[in-house]
Amino acid sequence: MPLTFLYAEDDPMSRQVMSVMINKLEVDGGAEVTIFEDSSNFMERVKALPKVPDVIFLDVQITPHSGFEMLKMLREDPAFNGKPIIAMTASVTVSDIEDLKKAGFDGLIAKPVRKKVFPELLDRILSGDDVWYVP
């Protein structure tokens, strides 16, 4: 069974980069990514997926629901307990990281995502480690 990922991202270039990186992963069973171009009807769309994603990546600044709002929706649903939810954002300060941690994100990967480090970061996420990556 393939590893499954959900990525909610409104920037076309970021969506393309993430899609390519996930599709190039060398994992047993392969990897599949579902991409939401906006956050409208977020939980309805997530629940319509064939299975709960193994990892969820949320753009922090997306509309109509922000990454923080989507995180809250996911955390309120027991089906997503224990699933890593990772923030994705281009603008990161020390206080932003603290806000993300307080909100309940399991990690952060700053954009643009670097192709050379992504597989290692993903291995750490799948191993249960928190990843707070800002190059």
Residue 94 CB coordination number (10 Å): 8
pTM of the model: 0.96
CATH class, domain 3-133, is alpha beta
Q: Which two tokens stand for residue 82?
A: 């224990």
The secondary structure of 107-121 as a DSSP string is EEEESSPPTTTHHHH
Tell me the C-alpha distance between 100 and 83, whole Å.
16
CB of 126 within 8 A of CB of 100? Answer: no
pLDDT tens for each residue of 79-134: 999 999 999 999 888 889 999 999 999 999 999 998 999 999 999 999 999 899 99
**20: pLDDT strictly greater than 90:** yes
Domain boundary assignment for the chain: 3-133
Region of 82 (left: φ > 0; alpha: ψ -120 to 50; beta: rest) is left
Which residues lie below 8 Å from residue 88, measured CB to CB, with a gap of 6+?
7, 9, 14, 57, 58, 59, 60, 67, 108, 109, 110, 111, 113
pLDDT tens for each residue of 38-73: 999 999 999 999 999 999 999 999 999 999 999 999
